[in-house]
Amino acid sequence: MTGHGDIFKDKAAKRERLDRLLIEKGLVKSREKARALIMEGKVLVDEAIINKPGTKVDPKAIIRLQEEDSPFVG
């Protein structure tokens, strides 16, 4: 017989650290770069800013880097 705790364990087991997922998805080349971007608030998971590198995220979530506000170059 399985309890509710087993359901949550299964869901948690499928989640991965955000800093590692950035590397796996090819968005950054190093964990240090991933951590820096996350802590600067430049990483969005399902359009929500995440600022803790160790945050567990569903690998199927939409992860993107926030665009840099670059000055216009003419």
Q: Where are the domains of the chain?
A: 16-65
Q: What is the pLDDT of residues 35-66, one digit of tens each?
A: 999 999 999 999 999 999 999 999 999 999 99
Ranges assigned E (strand) in the chain: 16-17, 43-45, 48-49, 56-57, 63-65
Superfamily of domain 16-65 in the CATH hierarchy:
RNA-binding S4 domain (3.10.290.10)
Number of CB atoms found within 10 A of residue 69's CB = 5
pLDDT of residue 21: 97
Model confidence, pTM: 0.74
Please state the φ and ψ torsions of residue 29, each to the nearest 5 degrees.
-100, -20
Q: Which of 13-17, 30-34, 61-65, 66-70 has the lowest mean pLDDT?
A: 66-70
Q: Among residues of the chain, what percentage have pLDDT more than 90? A: 70
